[in-house]
Structure 1
């Protein structure tokens, strides 16, 4: 997949990015994570239709989760978590409601019972082929509970889907 095939960011996010003028690298990262979140949302809605989640919130969260890195650009290529609270505060200052801004703050320390946060966090990991056992187990539990399917079956289905996401297809 080339960058032309990545789904466009939501209009409200494009407006925010125009105002905040983050670097090209950050915009590229946000586009990739948004695209993976889009795929995850489609997969959950199709495979586990009884799971209740806010698709628009997940897509917004994926598209803005690292917006604080516009203030801490060194965290684009190195470790750091200053961008998390900074991103939350930045989004609030731009008039984004707290329930949407939370993804900037929580994408690294997600609520294990919140499918929206789990989907944003998973999208941020799997695009680069990174697997986080606790994150995947938390999402497995949420999906199994909502669907009534056994956890082992849900885990296998999630594992197959996550494995199918080819990080090479997402590179810009």
Structure 2
């Protein structure tokens, strides 16, 4: 992939390691566009959340940039439903030498309701939803509670601020969806 969705200006560039993985594994252009769009949203989201709590921002950004990498092995899930890509992505990342702490996002981004979910997992899941203006109240509540607990702010205050940030992100969904749709699902 020397040109295409990974090179379009205006979106935050992917972490170099994530970009190299997508290129070396031959990620389909539509997948690369999706990961780039979700990563761009994660940059905004983590910038906001970073003023409220400490967390592993580089991990969230890598996770957002690779969370659906398993769709390389399950390309039918690029245009249809399915969760087989979650475990496949986790295993694919591990096989490429990515440490478990970073590979886990491929496995956890769809299971944000688990008891052992971290703030980092929740932020990747949230970026993966709100990039297309999908609001998930239960997920947003979990993010709010985590941020309030570690940041010491009242839950209602964090919720109001998060709601404003998510509204702003959602406002750009049409452009992100058009960007993703402008690339084919196959190489």
Shift >6 Å, 4+ stretches: none
Residue of structure 2 equivalent to 1:144: 148
- Structure 2 unmatched ranges of 5 or more: 1-7, 180-187
Q: CA deviation at 1:133?
A: 1.2
Q: How does 1:1-172 map to 2 (within 5 A)?
A: 3-46=8-51, 48=52, 51-110=53-112, 111=114, 113-165=117-169, 166-170=172-176, 171-172=178-179
Q: CA deviation at 1:168?
A: 2.5
In 1, distance between residues paired with 2:54 and 2:119? Answer: 8
1:7-48 per-residue CA deviation (whole Å, 9 max, x = no partner) reads: 1111111111121101100000000000000001111123x1
1:115-140 per-residue CA deviation (whole Å, 9 max, x = no partner) reads: 10011000000010001111101000
- TM-score, normalised by the number of residues in structure 2: 0.86
In 2, distance between residues paired with 1:4 and 1:53? Answer: 28
The more displaced of 110-119 and 62-71 is 110-119
In 2, distance between residues paired with 1:22 and 1:7? Answer: 18
- TM-score, normalised by the number of residues in structure 1: 0.93
Q: CA deviation at 1:169?
A: 3.9
- Structure 1 unmatched ranges of 5 or more: none
What RMSD over aligned residues (CA atoms) do the two structures have, in Å?
Answer: 1.2
Q: CA deviation at 1:154?
A: 1.0
The more displaced of 104-113 and 12-21 is 104-113
In 1, distance between residues paired with 2:143 and 2:74? Answer: 29
